[in-house]
Structure 1
Amino acid sequence: MFGLFIGDHDNKIDGKGRLSIPADFRRELEDGDPNCAPGGKASMVLVYGDHRRNYLEVLPIKEMMKRAKKIAKMSNGSQKRDDLQKLYYRQASTLTVDDTGRIVLSAKIRDKLGLTDSARVVGNGETFLIWNPDEYDTAPMGQLEIEEGYDPDKDPNTYLPGDDDDD
């Protein structure tokens, strides 16, 4: 594929908590797992976070390793490092796609988001998100920082940095 998760999908959750991962997302997960053979069972990291996150974030293994390296460079004992370690190491779990392209969401994780019979699987660039479909369109994305000079009513393309010749 091309290294990004894009699009959104409404997928069913069965009685055992199994959620189907879209085929194009599975290919990206396979590419992002250095131990996965082509067409194999990709592993990933599911970050559920605390009360500030009303969605799940799924990271390919390579993306998780990039974030782990960044965390390791931070000062030991800093609050920022501790918060990031808590988020990515203690409020997360590893999952593997099964033979039918599904992952199992534990009851704890389903309860956190109020997931019952479906979920919205949403591309987010290097990662993808899993939302309660009833909340996706209206829920805020955690506690986003208000940026000076940002107008939420403008076309977001006006904020893309750099030249058009970057290829």
Structure 2
Amino acid sequence: MARNRFRGSEEVKVDAKGRVSIPAKFRRVFESCDSDWEAGKRPQLVIVFGTRDWKHLQLYTMQAMGEIDEQISQLPRGSAERNLLENIYYGHAEETEIDNDGRLVLPQKLRDKIGLTDSAFFISAGESLKVWSPENYEAQESALEDLVPNFEPGADPLSLLATAQKAEG
């Protein structure tokens, strides 16, 4: 099923009440992937704050969350995998909405969890949007190089897709 995806990144200010302006390009994805949204209504989304080691928040559209819900419900009840995913995507998550001014309110406990103070860094992850403190994002970005140790400097990143396809086949 084709759907809108998030693309791009942007740093925005966080006010004293924890409000962040969602850039318009990202708001459009939340709107188009919320089947209940129409002009004048507030688009809904799910904030997943994950386990204690997560240093970011993950914002999911209602459509993406529905697909995750469906996949979780197909796992055997009581299985370790289902318990873990239910814990993260249900227990460590909150449904919320973008206000009429295009802002999202991030509760203090979530700001504290990821070290968010006066600015937030949004980066697209396809079906979700990650929110980092700029400092934590910089540290994570540096660590990404260690994830693919055999990746030659200057190599085409799309070559990794061929590797993934071989592993599936």
TM-score relative to the length of structure 1: 0.86
Partner of 2:139, secondary structure, is coil
- How far is 1:160 from its partner? 2.5
Residues 155, 39 of structure 1: CA spacing in aligned structure 2 closer, same or farther, 3 A cutoff?
farther
Question: Could you tell me whether the CA contact under 8 Å between 2:33 and 2:63 is conserved in 1?
Answer: yes
Summarize the alignment of residues 1-167 of structure 1 with structure 2, pairs less than 5 Å apart.
3-38=4-39, 40-139=41-140, 151=151, 153=153, 154-161=155-162
Q: Structure 1 segments of 4 or more deviating over 6 A?
A: none
CA distance in 2, matches of 1:96, 1:105: 11
The alignment-based identity, stated in percent, is 34
TM-score relative to the length of structure 2: 0.85
Partner of 2:158, secondary structure, is helix
Partner of 1:63, secondary structure, is helix
- Structure 2 residue runs of 5 or longer lacking an equivalent are 165-169
Amino acid at match of 2:129: F
- How far is 1:150 from its partner? 5.4
- How far is 1:52 from its partner? 2.6
Structure with the larger helix share: 2
Deviation string, structure 1 residues 73-132 (Cα, Å, up to 9, x no partner): 001111110000000000000110001100100010000011111100111111110001
- Structure 1 residue runs of 5 or longer lacking an equivalent are 163-167
Question: Could you tell me whether the CA contact under 8 Å between 2:54 and 2:114 is conserved in 1?
Answer: no
Question: Could you tell me whether the CA contact under 8 Å between 1:30 and 1:40 is conserved in 2?
Answer: no
Q: What is the root-mean-square deviation of aligned Cα atoms in Å? A: 2.5
